[in-house]
Structure 1
Amino acid sequence: MPQQKIYLVGAGIVGWEGVGKKALEVVGKAEVLIGHQRHLDIFPDFKGEKQVLDDLSLMLDFLRNTDKRVVVLGSGDPNFFGVGRFLLRNLPKERIEIFPNVTSVQYAFARIKETWDDAIFVSVHGRGLKGAIDRIVSAEKVAVLTDEKNSPAVIARELLARGADGYEVWLCENLGLPAERFTRTDVKGLAEIVAAPLNIVIFIRTWEPQLTQYPVIGIEDEQFATVK
């Protein structure tokens, strides 16, 4: 018997209002909704089972064995540094249907009125920092997705240690939420800011840095995302 499809729906910056009609229909027909609590809260009237996404391996076991109609919620475009990568690596692609949305990075660039087609994108979420710093100092414009360990201030201090302070910096916090905030600063200023947990940092080069350490060619082993 063929297994049920898994529907991967990107939650919009402004909640369900940013979700397309077809994706909303898929959510409405689902028996199980999986996602982080802030994404589940977008659908308070959902009548089926809700599962908070805490452990990817537990979610994978459930998806491999369930015959229920499941929707997994991600942020923006789930294939952009999101849960889509994990699902596509570990489940048959023919089981997965994806409904992307506007990414937080797209939204952030629009709000600060900067183009993003010439930017590079780096995630330090759950990853080592050295490779990310190498990429930042090599680029003219960078958007960085951070985490609690590799916070904006930590990244700024690493850049300063390398002599890479020649950037205009935008700290974009709590995008789409009531506490949304955009702070324009520089690398030294960023090093002093305690950022909200949900944030993106955009670096735009304003002058050539006088680096004390230059990027190396290649990628360290720890920079590769792996599934155990």
Structure 2
Amino acid sequence: MTEKMKVIGIGDDGKQSLLPVYEKWIYESDLLVGGERQLSFFKDFTGEKKVIKGGLSSLVSDLKRENRKIVVLASGDPLFYGIGSYLAKKLDVEVYPYLSSLQQAFARMNESWQDADITSLHGRSIKGLVQKINGKEKIALLTDEENKALLRLLAIYVPLEFQNIRHLLLKTLVGNKSAVLFTV
């Protein structure tokens, strides 16, 4: 590959979340890689598109063989519980983040987040979660559709059981209709 691959974070509002130079790089690329939702923002892209499905190791193997201009799209900040960390360890990439879902959620609550205990349950088990958050004052949990119902129950249970928690933020990472915000 002659040029570093670019990993660009994008928001739920699609192209509107991109700096003009990022959009320029996307349209100048030969191969646009991303999830179905991210790729759907670029229906007018004329190069090849590759949807990320399944294991990332096969994606990395494929990308290592490429010598074209490649842009990988990721949600929010690709280095914050995202594909960017994995790709940066395996490939020669440049990462250009957008706002993370947590940055946006905490901003909506007018709350700082540098002191939050952050845990991602996206694709992970909820087992041991209550023990992990016990004693924390500010908690942010990221999840997927699979754990969303369990976290709704947790939002009811935590304030009753752990009076020391000041703020609990629950955020489901599935687009516009995903925010579950709760402040104790």
Specify if TM > 0.5.
yes
Q: Which residue of 2 aligns with 1:85?
A: 85
SS of the aligned residue for 1:149 comes to helix
Find the residue that maps to 1:8 and give its secondary structure: strand
SS of alignment partner, residue 27 of structure 2: helix
- What residue in structure 2 maps to residue 135 of structure 1? 132
Take 1:109 and 1:156, find their aligned partners in 2: how far apart are those partners?
Answer: 18
Larger radius of gyration: 1
Give secondary structure in 2 for the equivalent of 1:139: coil
Could you list the per-position Cα deviations for residues 34-60 of structure 1 after superposition, in whole angstroms to 9, with x for gaps in the alignment?
A: 111110011121111111111222311
**1:156 shift after superposition:** 5.1
Q: Tell me the TM-score normalised to structure 1 length.
A: 0.68
Provide the C-alpha distance between the structure 2 equivalents of 1:34 and 1:108, rounded to a whole number of angstroms. 27
Give a deviation string over 1:166-190, Cα, whole Å, max 9, x none. Answer: 466555568863xx4xxxxxxxxxx
Instruction: Please say if residues 8 and 73 of structure 1, whose CA atoms lie closer than 8 Å, have aligned partners that are also in contact.
Output: yes
In the other structure, the counterpart of 2:150 is: 154
Q: Deviations over 1:150-172 (max 9, x none)?
A: 22x324556849x7354665555
Q: Secondary structure at the match of 2:8?
A: strand
Three-state SS of the structure 2 residue aligned to 1:73 is strand
Pairwise mapping of residues 177-216 of structure 1 onto structure 2 (< 5 A)?
177=176, 180=177, 199-202=178-181, 204=183, 206=184
Residue 161 of structure 2 aligns to a residue whose secondary structure is: coil
| Residue of structure 2 in register with 1:102 after alignment | 99
Deviation at 1:3, TM superposition (A): 4.2
Give CA deviations for 1:115-144 in whole Å, capped at 9, x if unaligned: 222222110112232354333223211111
- Contact kept, 8 Å, 2:31 with 2:71, in 1: the verdict is yes
Which residue is 1:218 aligned to? none
**Matched residues in 1 for 2:135 and 2:128: separation?**
11
**Alpha-carbon spacing, 1:130–1:173, altered in 2? closer, same or farther (3 Å):** closer
Deviation of 1:114 after TM superposition, in Å, equals: 2.4
2:111 counterpart letter in structure 1: E
Taking only the aligned residue pairs, the percentage that are identical comes to 35
Distance 2:19 2:130 in 1: 36
* Displacement after TM superposition at 1:149 (Å): 3.0
Give matches, 1:1-228, under 5 Å.
3-55=2-54, 56-91=56-91, 95-151=92-148, 153-155=149-151, 157=153, 160=157, 164=161, 166=163, 177=176, 180=177, 199-202=178-181, 204=183, 206=184
- Equivalents in 2 of 1:103, 1:125: separation in Å? 14
Seen in structure 2, the aligned counterparts of structure 1 residues 133 and 22 have a Cα distance that, compared at 3 Å, is farther
Instruction: Rate the CA distance shift 1:175–1:149 in 2: closer, same or farther, 3 A.
Output: closer
Residues 143 and 203, structure 1, Cα contact 8 Å, conserved in 2: no
On the 8 A contact 2:6/2:72 being kept in 1, the answer is: yes
More helix by share: 2
Amino acid across the alignment from 2:150: V
Structure 1 residues 150 and 176: CA distance shift in structure 2, 3 A = closer
- Residue segments in structure 2 that go unaligned for 5+ positions in a row: none
